Amino acid sequence: MLVANKYFPRTDFLPLKPWINPSMADYKAPVQEMSFVLNDLFDVQSLTTIPAFAEATPDLVDAVVQEAGKFAAEVIAPLNRQGDIQHSRAKDGAVTTPDGFKEAYSLFQQNGWTSLAQDPNYGGQGLPFTVHMAASEFWNSANMSFALCPMLSAGGMDVLMAHASQDLRDKFLPQLVSGEWTGTMNLTEPHAGSDLSSLKTKARPDGDHYLLKGQKIYITWGEHDMADNILHIVLAPLEDAPAGVKGLSLFLVPKYLVNEDGSLGDRNDLSVVSTEEKLGINGSPTCVMSFGENQGAVGYMIGEPGQGLACMFTLMNHARLEVGLEGVGLSERSYQDALDYAKQRVQGRDPESGASTTIIGHPDVQRMLMQMKSMTDAMRALCFDASLSHDLRSHAEDEQVKAYHSVKFALLTPIAKAWCTELVNEVTSLGIQIHGGMGFVEETGVAQHYRDARITAIYEGTTGIQANDLVGRKLVRDSGQGFAALMSEMRATLDDFSHDEQSKAQFAQHLDRLQVTADFILNNNSQSASFEGAVAVNFLMQMGYVCGAWYHLRSFMAADKSTGDAQFNQAKKLAARFYVAQVLPRASAHADAVEHGAGIGVELSEAAFV
pLDDT confidence tier of residue 315, bands split at 50, 70 and 90: confident
Q: Is 161 exposed, middle or buried (0-12, 13-18, 19+ CB in 10 A)?
A: middle
Q: Give the number of other Cβ atoms within 10 Å of residue 228's Cβ.
A: 11
Of 209, 183, 188, 213, whose CA–CA distance to 198 is shortest? 188
* CA–CA dist 510, 545 (Å, integer): 9
The per-residue pLDDT for range 173-211, each reduced to its tens digit, is: 999 999 999 999 999 999 876 667 779 999 999 999 999
Helix (H) or strand (E) holding 403: helix 399-435
The per-residue pLDDT for range 373-429, each reduced to its tens digit, is: 999 999 999 999 999 999 999 999 999 999 999 999 999 999 999 999 999 999 999
In the prediction, which pLDDT does 297 show? 98
Helix (H) or strand (E) holding 357: strand 356-358
* CA–CA dist 152, 218 (Å, integer): 13
Tell me what the pLDDT averaged over the chain comes to: 94
From the candidates 322, 422, 460, 532, which is the catalytic residue? 460
Is the CB of residue 116 less than 8 Å from the CB of residue 131? yes
Active site residue 442: no
Q: Which residues contact 352 (CB under 8 A, 6 or more apart)?
A: none
Residue 232's DSSP bridge partners are: 184, 253
307 has a pLDDT exceeding 90: yes
Q: What pTM, to 2 d.p., does this model score?
A: 0.95
Of 407, 419, 414, whose CA–CA distance to 546 is shortest? 419
The per-residue pLDDT for range 319-362, each reduced to its tens digit, is: 999 999 999 999 999 999 999 999 999 999 988 888 999 999 99
- Which CATH architecture is the domain 181-306 placed in? Beta Barrel (2.40)
* CA–CA dist 385, 371 (Å, integer): 21
* CA–CA dist 509, 581 (Å, integer): 12
Rounded (10°) CA dihedral 153, 155, 156, 159: 160
Q: Which residues contact 310 (CB under 8 A, 6 or more apart)?
A: 303
Rounded (10°) CA dihedral 530, 531, 536, 538: 120
Residue 414 has phi, psi (to 5 degrees) of -65, -30
Q: Give the number of other Cβ atoms within 10 Å of residue 455's Cβ.
A: 21
Is the CB of residue 474 less than 8 Å from the CB of residue 482? yes
Angle (CA) 394-398-403 rounded to 5° is 55
Strand, helix or coil for residue 261: coil
